[in-house]
Amino acid sequence: MAIHPIEFRYGTPEMKRIWEQENKQQRMLDIESALAQAEGELGIIPKEYADEIKAKASIEYVTLERVSEIEAETKHDIASLSKGLSEVCEGEAGEYVHFGATSNDIVDSSNSLLLKDSIEVLEEKIERLTKIILKLADENKTKVCIGRTHGQHALPTTYGMKFAIWADELHRQYDRLQHAKDNVCLGMMDGAVGTTAALGTQGWEVHKKVSEILGLKPAPITNQVLQRDNHVEFIATLANIATTLSKIALEVRNLQRTEIQELGEYFDPEKQVGSSTMPHKMNPITAERICGVARIVKSYVNAAMENNPLWHERDLTNSSCERIMFPEACILTDYILNLTIKLMNNLIFYDENIERNLNFTNGLIMAERLMAELTRAGMGKQTAYGVARKNAIKANKEKLLLADLILEDPDASQFLSKEDVERIMDPHTYIGSAPIIVDEILEASKDWF
């Protein structure tokens, strides 16, 4: 019976396949095969034995069931794997399986392959999501809306700005993932304390040859493990990506509030149910799930950091943690990337509400512009600020139009005509360089991927 929600609720088939036990075992067998190939090429073991080990290093021959049977007796996963591979090799080839390696050579190098495969899935989805959001930025470049700071109406902005900010951030997250990939996807074949002593004078050459066969960069130095500061960077990068996805989803959730309802996620009225008791509910469940799962991904950062300081050349405290952390962090990050793609592809805009909210404060949001225009017209800036503030407070308190109060104000009316005030109070014409900024992001994005 399934227990963990990843088994039946969260995750995509493409990412789950990477971390399924069958694939994990195959990746470890790939390391055993690469070790044998390197040793065969360098004349450390007979070439025909290396070829036989390579031919049998497959879960077709070394089954999960058999390795599990051996592990039940040995209580050691890698010793069981190497014995299982030895058993299926013909002749004397089985005697040379795992020669010169320690268990973590297999574990860490295979994890590097699994992480590399996972990163490739994440890269494609970050790129896809970024392009969707760039398209939204372009389409909504001049869609004026109210900007909010501290939850309060501030100044006009555009939806193009909102989307372009997210796209720019996702591009940085993509770059961070590339950097983490370069550091975390390393190969090692260095023996019990990193000296390659069991392989004699050819040990370091074997280390490099194995990495070459696997398509990994060879680690420059190890003890019994690849150093976990690189894994901290990787997990922290996934957590950082999760913060961006959570930021996007949180904004959608807030803008879908009943009182605001400027945009929201798609809701299928024919099939979807918002509440088991309230028939009218249309909840932002996709965005809420993104925010909730993102918290789990972010929580792994502390665990990753705890895995870096180990006793001496290493202890085993990182191992059990990483068996959980690596697959879950990759699967859940990929999952909320998928959800965010779905969310952005199906956004609903409520243009009437966007316009209503833009004018909700009876012109208070144009107080900054009034101050600036009074200053340009010859009033001192500090005086202009005081005039705008005095009238804004009165307009807010008495529910009056700010424009009317400015026209009645003897100080302001010396500098601004009725036509001036009408022009100043139009929020659609107070978006500054927003279209230019978005255009520059769109132009720069042509070189992002």
Three-state helix/strand/coil letters over 190-259: CCCCCCCHHHHHHHHHHHHHHHHHHCCEECCCCCCCCCCHHHHHHHHHHHHHHHHHHHHHHHHHHHCCCC
Helix, strand, coil shares of the chain, percent, nearest 5, are 65, 5, 30
Residues 367-396: what's their mean pLDDT?
93
Q: Identify the CATH number of the domain defined by range 103-357.
A: 1.20.200.10
Predicted confidence (pLDDT) per residue in 180-205, tens digit: 999 999 999 999 999 999 999 999 99
Q: Which two tokens stand for residue 114?
A: 């699994």
Q: How far apart are CA 47 and CA 17, in angstroms?
A: 33
Q: How confident is the model at residue 168 (pLDDT cuts 50, 70, 90)?
A: very high
What H or E segment, with its residue span, contains residue 145? strand 144-149
- What is the number of H-type helices and E-type strands within the chain? 19, 6
Report the mean per-residue pLDDT for the chain: 95
Q: Please count the other Cβ atoms lying within 10 Å of the Cβ belonging to residue 59.
A: 18
Across 314-407, the runs of DSSP E, i.e. the strands, are 347-349
The 3-state secondary structure of 410-434, one letter per residue: HHHHCCCCHHHHHHHCCHHHCCCCH
pLDDT at 275: 64
Give 5-96's CATH code, choosing from 1.10.275.10, 3.20.10.10, 1.10.3210.10, 3.40.50.10320. Answer: 1.10.275.10
Reference 326, options 9, 27, 2, 3; nearest CA is 27
Per residue in 347-376, pLDDT tens? 999 999 999 999 999 999 999 999 999 999
Tell me the three-class secondary structure of 260-328, residue by residue.
CCCEEECCCCCCCCCCCCCCCCCCCHHHHHHHHHHHHHHHHHHHHHHCCCCCCCCCCHHHHHHHHHHHH
Active-site annotation holds for 4: no
Contacts of 303 (CB under 8 A, 6+ apart): 235, 321, 325
Q: Which pLDDT band, with edges at 50, 70 and 90, does 267 fall under?
A: confident
Is pLDDT at 119 greater than 70 in this prediction?
yes
Average pLDDT over every residue of 390-401: 93
Predicted confidence at residue 268, as pLDDT, reads 74
Domain 364-424 adopts which CATH fold?
Ribonucleotide Reductase Protein R1; domain 1 (1.10.40)
**pLDDT the model gives residue 283:** 84
Task: Read off the pTM.
Answer: 0.94
Three-state DSSP class for residue 37 = helix
Among 104-108, 331-335, 397-401, name the one with the lowest average pLDDT.
397-401
Residue 270 pLDDT? 75
Q: What does each C-alpha distance from 295 to 200, 240, 299 come to in angstroms?
A: 48, 11, 6
Beta bridge partners of 148: 153
Q: Provide the pLDDT confidence category of residue 146 given band limits of 50, 70 and 90.
A: very high
Among 150, 276, 280, 312, the one annotated catalytic: 150
Given a cut of 90, is residue 1 above it in pLDDT? no
Whole-angstrom distance, CA of residue 115 vs CA of residue 117? 5
pLDDT per position as a tens digit, 274-333: 766 677 767 889 999 999 999 999 999 999 999 999 999 999 999 999 999 999 999 999
**Could you give the CA distance from residue 379 to residue 196 in angstroms, rounded to a whole number?**
79
Q: Under DSSP, is residue 99 helix (H, G, I), strand (E, B) or coil? A: coil
pLDDT > 70 in the chain, percent: 99
Report the SS3 class of residue 156: strand
Quote the tokens at residue 433.
Answer: 């360089």
How do 144-149 and 152-158 pair as beta strands?
antiparallel
* Domain boundaries along the sequence of the chain: 5-96, 103-357, 364-424
At 293 the pLDDT is 98
Q: Which two tokens stand for residue 4?
A: 């963990």
Q: Does residue 115 surpass a pLDDT of 70?
A: yes
pLDDT score for 277: 67
Q: What is the mean pLDDT of residues 247-265?
A: 95
Choosing from 275, 299, 417, 433, the catalytic residue is 275
Partners of 265 in the beta sheet? 347
